[in-house]
Each structure stands twice: as C-alpha cells, then as structure tokens.
C-alpha cells in the first residue's frame, strides 16, 4: 500500500518494522506434560512444578479447608481421670479432696449456732488425746491390784480398803477425762471457728474467720502415722479466745475445708446445693 502523497518518508521506518517483527511472541504448541498455562505469556509449567514438591494441602490449614486447622486431642492419662469418675451413686471412685459435709449439727453444738449461720462440721479430738489417762488407769489397775493382793495375804484389811478406794478414784478421774474428750468439739461454720469443752463448767471459745490472719497445722512423725495434728490460728487481735488446738483428726482435710470456707465460700455453697438437688432426686426416685 502506497504512502499518502505529500508526506516525506520516515528514514527509521524499516528499523521499527524489523524490531516489531523480532519482538513478536512466537506461537507455541501446548504439550501434554506442560503445567497450567496462565495465558499467552511464558508458561510457568516449564519451571519447577509446585505440585512436584511437598503438597501444601497436606499441612495444617492449607488445602481442603483453609479456615479450619487440624484438631489434636489433648493427652489425658488415666491418673488424671481417676479423681473425676463417679460410681452409680454419684460418689467419686478415686481419692476425694474434701470429705463429705455433715448435714446437721449435733444437739451439743446446735445450741451455740444462730439461725443465719451455716454449719460446716464438727470434730472430736483424736483418740491419741486419751493416751495419758488410759495409761495411768491401766498402770494403776495393775499396781493397785498387785498391792491389794499382797495386803490381803498379809491380813491388813484396812490398807486393802484404802488401795481399792485409791483405784476407784483414779478410774473415776479416767472416766472424767473420757467424758471431757467426748464433749470437746471443734466446730466450723461459714462465719467462725469454735471450740466447746467442759462437762459441768462449759467453755466456748470462738474466732471469726475474717479475723484469721494466718493458719497452719503441725504433724509429728507419730501424728503423720496416726493422722492427727495441731492447728495454730493467728488473729489480728491481741487477746485470742483460741490459738492452739491439739490432736485434731485428719488435719489435711480439715485444713482444706477451713481454707476453702475462708477464700472460696461460693465453691462450698455450690457443692451443698448440688448435694441437696441429688438428695431430692433420690427421694423422688
């Protein structure tokens, strides 16, 4: 096709036409082993194929569903589950952290509680508390029995009577100590701790839980073997109605119960509410 008349020829036109011809892309016939083509440009399938390497779809979150990660179940051993399993009655099969709470106070303790106070439990002292009077009674029985027999052989009836009276006095004292042990109670409520003792002269000591600044218990080697200990309560006040309570049974459980009442009263209320609901369900069944 001729150039329009009147327009001078461009001296660079042959070079421009040659450059366009050289830079024009050469059509390429696709091959079966080619990778995915993204158009007419250079095919990415000639380079290292991404599908030949480790598949990203097999990793966590890349591939089938990028919004969900692979779930790895927690590793829980049988020991971890031992304390959570319960039997048909709802009682734990494994070791229990806190012993069951008592429902009602005894008549000895109920008179010292006011209506809005929540009863948490009462404890007698460990039987080790009676060791001294029982040993004295046993020793007196053997000693005075031997002495009475010896005096009877010597035909000294007056001294034999005296020995029997002494033995009766000692056994009366032992019986008094046993009775005092029976009426001696450590009491816990949601407001205070109390100690009640005495047969004829009754003594009641108490300390509010809000005033307890420190609490600890001590166990000797014998106490650890027989499961008893001594509680020491520290209060913010100078005069303390009770400070040291000796020979309390099961001190670890008792310590946990007092601490729970001081710092986690909601947990106690929740447990009591659950126990009450279970009791009602059992009654209905």
Q: Are 126 and 222 in contact (CB under 8 A)?
A: no
Ranked by mean pLDDT, the top range of 19-33, 43-57, 135-149, 230-244 is 135-149
pTM higher than 0.85: no
Q: Which of 43-52, 134-143, 145-154, 214-223 has the lowest mean pLDDT?
A: 43-52
Structure confidence at residue 13 as a pLDDT band (50, 70, 90): low
Strand-pair category, 192-197 with 185-189: antiparallel
- What average pLDDT score do residues 271-285 get? 58
Q: Tell me the two tokens of residue 40.
A: 């007419």
* pLDDT tens track for 32-48: 555 555 445 454 445 45
pLDDT at 249: 92
Quick one: which H or E segment has residue 189?
Answer: strand 185-189
Could you give the CA distance from residue 137 to residue 175 in angstroms, rounded to a whole number? Answer: 9
Distance between start and end Cα atoms, the chain: 108
* pLDDT tens track for 63-107: 444 455 665 666 666 655 555 555 555 555 554 444 555 668 888
Higher pLDDT, 118 or 172: 172
- Is a pLDDT exceeding 50 seen at residue 1? no
pLDDT at 163: 87
Could you give the CA distance from residue 85 to residue 82 in angstroms, rounded to a whole number? Answer: 6
DSSP character at residue 100:
P
- Is a pLDDT exceeding 80 seen at residue 131? yes
């Amino acid at each position: 096709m001729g150039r329009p008349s009147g327009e001078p020829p461009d001296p660079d036109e042959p070079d421009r036409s040659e450059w366009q011809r050289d830079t024009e892309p050469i059509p390429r016939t696709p091959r079966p082993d080619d990778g995915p083509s993204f158009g007419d440009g250079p095919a990415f399938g000639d380079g290292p194929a991404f599908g030949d390497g480790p598949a990203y779809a097999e990793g966590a979150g890349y591939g089938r569903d990028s919004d969900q990660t692979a779930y790895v179940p927690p590793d829980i051993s049988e020991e971890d589950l031992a304390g959570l399993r319960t039997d048909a009655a709802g009682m734990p099969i494994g070791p229990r952290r806190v012993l069951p709470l008592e429902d009602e106070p005894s008549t000895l303790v109920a008179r010292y509680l006011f209506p809005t106070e929540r009863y948490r439990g009462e404890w007698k002292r460990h039987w080790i508390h009676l060791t001294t009077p029982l040993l004295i009674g046993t020793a007196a029985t053997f000693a005075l029995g031997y002495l009475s027999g010896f005096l009877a052989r010597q035909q000294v009836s007056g001294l034999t009577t005296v020995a029997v009276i002494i033995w009766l006095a000692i056994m009366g004292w032992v019986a008094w100590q046993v009775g005092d042990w029976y009426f001696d109670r450590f009491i816990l409520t949601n407001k205070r701790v109390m100690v009640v003792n005495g047969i004829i002269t009754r003594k009641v000591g108490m300390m509010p839980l809000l005033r307890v600044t420190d609490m600890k218990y001590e166990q000797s080697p014998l106490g650890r073997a027989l499961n008893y200990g001594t509680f020491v309560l520290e209060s913010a006040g100078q005069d303390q109605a009770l400070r040291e309570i000796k020979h309390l049974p099961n001190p670890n459980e008792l310590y946990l119960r007092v601490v729970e009442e001081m710092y986690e009263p909601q947990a106690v209320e929740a447990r009591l509410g659950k126990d009450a609901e279970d009791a009602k369900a059992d009654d209905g069944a």
